Chain A
Amino acid sequence: MQKNLNIYRLRYMLILIHFLIVLIFSPLLLGIIGKTKAFFAGRWGAPLLQPYYDIFKLFSKGNVYSVTTTWIFQAAPLLSFVCILVSCLVLPFGGIHAPCFFWGDVLLFAGLYTLARFVMVIAALDTGSSFEGMGAAREATFSCLAECCLFLNFIVLALLSKKLILSQMVGGDLSVSWWTDGPALILVGGSYFMVLLTENARIPVDDPQTHLELTMIHEARVLDHSGWDFAFILYGSAIKLFVLGGLLVDVLLPLDHQPVLIQMGEFFVGMVILAMGIGCVESSMARLRLNRIPQLLTGSFILALVGFLVVLIRGV
Chain B
Amino acid sequence: MIWLDMCLIAIVFMGVIVLGNNRLRTTIQLFAAQSFLLCLVPIMILPGFHAGILALETFVLKVVLMPLVFFWAIRHVSIRREGQPLISYGHTLLLGGVLIAGSFLISARLDLPVKISSNLLVPCAFSVIMIGFLLLVTRFKAITQIIGYLVMENGIFLFALLLLEKTPLLVEMGILLDIFVGVLIMGVIVNQINQEFGSASTVNLVNLKE
Chain A positions within 8 Å of B, measured between CB atoms, are 179-180, 182-183, 186-187, 190, 292, 294-295, 298-299, 301-303, 305-306, 309-310, 312-314
Whether B9 lies near A306 (C-beta < 8 A) is yes
**A309 with B104: in contact, given A182-B6, A298-B94 (CB under 8 Å)?**
yes
Rounded to whole angstroms, the CA-CA distance of A292 and B89 in the bound complex is 9
Does B188 lie at the interface of the complex (its beta carbon under 8 Å from any beta carbon of A)? no
- Structural contact, A313 and B120, CB atoms closer than 8 A: yes
Known: A295-B89, A299-B20, A302-B16. A310 touches B9 (CB 8 A): yes
Query: With A179-B2, A182-B2, A186-B6 in contact, is A294–B123 under 8 Å at CB?
Result: no
A292 CA to B88 CA in the complex, in Å?
11
Looking across the interface, which residue of chain A has its beta carbon closest to that of B100? A306
Nearest CB of chain B from residue A119's CB, rounded to whole Å: 30
Contact (A186, B119) CB under 8 Å given A295-B20, A302-B97, A313-B104: no
List, in ascending order, chain B residues with CB within 8 A of A302's CB: 16, 93-94, 96-97, 100
- Whether B12 lies near A298 (C-beta < 8 A) is no
Asked if B71 is an interface residue, CB under 8 A from chain A, the answer is: no
Of chain B, the residue at the smallest CB distance from A294 is B90
Complexed CA–CA distance, A88 and B120 (Å)? 36
- Is B104 within 8 A of A312, CB to CB? yes
Instruction: Apart from A183-B9, A313-B104, A314-B119, list 6 A-B contacts with CB within 8 A.
Output: A182-B2, A183-B6, A186-B6, A190-B13, A295-B20, A313-B120
In the complex, the answer to whether A183 meets B97 with C-beta atoms within 8 Å is no
Tell me the interface secondary structure of chain A in the complex. Answer: helix
Given contacts A295-B90, A303-B13, A309-B100, contact A182 B20 (CB under 8 A): no
Report A-chain residues with C-beta under 8 Å of the C-beta of B90: 294-295, 298
Give complex CA distance A299, B5 in Å: 20
Q: How far is the CA of A158 from the CA of B59 in the complex (A)?
A: 39
Query: How many angstroms from the CA of A312 to the CA of B104 in the assembled complex?
Result: 9
- Report chain A residues within 8 Å CB of B93: 295, 298-299, 302
B94 to chain A: closest residue by CB: A298
Bound-state CA distance A190–B140 (Å) is 30
Q: Are B13 and A313 in contact (CB under 8 A)?
A: no
Whether B108 sits at the interface, judged by CB under 8 Å, is yes
* Complex contact A298–B97 (CB within 8 A): yes
B17 at the interface (CB under 8 A from A): yes
* CB-contact partner of B119 in A298, A306, A313, under 8 A: A313
Neighbouring A residues of B101 by C-beta, 8 Å: 305, 309
A10 to B73, CA, bound (A): 70
Separation in Å of the A118 CB from the closest CB of chain B? Answer: 26
Task: Verify B17–A299 contact, CB threshold 8 A.
Answer: yes
Q: 15 interchain pairs (CB within 8 A)?
A: A179-B2, A180-B2, A182-B5, A182-B6, A299-B16, A299-B20, A302-B96, A303-B16, A305-B101, A306-B12, A306-B16, A309-B100, A309-B123, A310-B120, A313-B123
